[in-house]
Structure 1
Amino acid sequence: MATRTRMSREARQDQLLDLGAELFADRSYEDVHIEELSEVAGVSRGLLYHYFPTKRAFFAAMVRRESGRMIETTVTDPSLPVLDQLKQGIETYLDYCEDHKLGVKAIFHGAASADPEIQEIIEQDLRVHHDRIIAVVEPNGRSTELMRIAVRSWLQFMRSACHQWLDAQEATRDEIRDLCAQTLVGALMALPEGSRPSGLAGLTPSD
């Protein structure tokens, strides 16, 4: 008689989170019922609730996992020139979006949720990426409020652009990469002279 392989707790959680990403990818948070996951995964509701007692807990775990992976993946090489670091960060972000399409789309939909726990995870993720970019373009640590607003606004733009690109029929990866890179540089160089980042000194938006 064949023995049934027993999955570890971590492996089972990852399996459920992967399957859950499929449910949330093209549907709003409110439209998904956690009980659907037990049917898709072929597990009892009792086992599902053992791992994730509520839909909120499940979705928060999924967002936290995807956010952590993306933060780890998008670390850039500090030895590279500033523009190359920015482009590398965008490239690795696009790589992650391609490799984890369902999870990324699920997070994008979840961003519209009013749940404070989910919003805090997304906010923490934004802060990490924001601080990384500021550290690259303004290595002396003298960022201005206007510069920080520009970077944060650009992050929202990039997320929206990449999410739309995942379903795009004509826009290419290179076009999205260049659009995001040029938009960031353009936004930073459009700041008043005293607010422009020192790491981009001498550049123009077309550079």
Structure 2
Amino acid sequence: MPPRHRLSPADRRAQLLAVGSRMFAARPYEDVLMDDIAQQGGVSRALLYRHFPSKHALFAAVYQQAADRLLAKTKLDPADSLVGQLVQGMDIHLDYFVANRHAVLAANRVLAGDPVIQTIMTDELDALRARLLAVLPLADESARPTVSAVLKSWLVFVQILVVDWLTEQTCSRTELRDICVGAVLGALRPLLPAHLVPNWP
């Protein structure tokens, strides 16, 4: 067990989140034990459970932190090209999904019916949809509800496709990204000015 150091409650929680994040990334959800997290964190079981009353609570906190960081990294700017922003956003998310395969599969399969985890994912998708909608130059403002619905459906499509890819990997990562980008460009083409939606790839 690593030596214990006295930390503030906030710093200790952050440290345990970091340990949990590494372990949920390295192992399937069912193989992660709170005893191991306490040992790796250099704390007692009692202290770990004081911060996180269950493995589920720890995983939810880890996944919420990851969602917040992904949103912070996903920069959308109306001055940039639509394709460039979509490619960048997909690459940022794929980097996380590949590095944290076990955590992503746990959230989308093992805990697929869990309301806390589903709320985290739904909130992130809603935030991404709102950001995309805010930077898209609509040819007609009346198209906004339709574009919003297209983006919502596309984000769910990407989520399902990426989770399947993490288990099967029937194509390369670049092909996966290009499929996802091409899907939304094709769906948006009738709704946006033609010069903003190029053929892809």
TM-score range relative to shorter protein = 0.7 to 0.9
Question: Which of the pair is proportionally richer in helix?
Answer: 2
Q: TM-score, normalised by structure 2?
A: 0.77
Structure 2 residue runs of 5 or longer lacking an equivalent are: none
Cα gap change, 1:37 to 1:47, in 2 (>3 Å): same
Higher mean C-alpha displacement, 178-187 vs 99-108: 99-108
Residue equivalent to 1:67: 67
Residue equivalent to 1:144: 144
Q: TM-score, normalised by structure 1?
A: 0.75
Q: Which runs of 4+ in 1 moved over 6 A?
A: none
Cα gap change, 1:201 to 1:171, in 2 (>3 Å): same
Residue equivalent to 1:54: 54
Q: Percent identity?
A: 27
Alignment of 1:162-177 (within 5 A): 162-177=162-177
RMSD: 3.0
Q: Distance in 2 between matches of 1:81 and 1:144?
A: 19
Q: Distance in 2 between matches of 1:152 and 1:37?
A: 36
Conserved in 2, the CA contact under 8 Å of 1:151 and 1:184? Answer: yes
Q: Distance in 1 between matches of 2:131 and 2:79?
A: 14
- Equivalent AA in structure 2 for residue 154 of structure 1: W
- Equivalent AA in structure 2 for residue 125 of structure 1: E
Structure 1 residue runs of 5 or longer lacking an equivalent are: none
Residue equivalent to 1:122: 121
Cα gap change, 1:21 to 1:93, in 2 (>3 Å): closer
Residue equivalent to 1:38: 35
Conserved in 2, the CA contact under 8 Å of 1:111 and 1:122? Answer: no
Conserved in 2, the CA contact under 8 Å of 1:97 and 1:104? Answer: yes
Q: Distance in 2 between matches of 1:39 and 1:84?
A: 42
Q: Distance in 2 between matches of 1:5 and 1:141?
A: 61
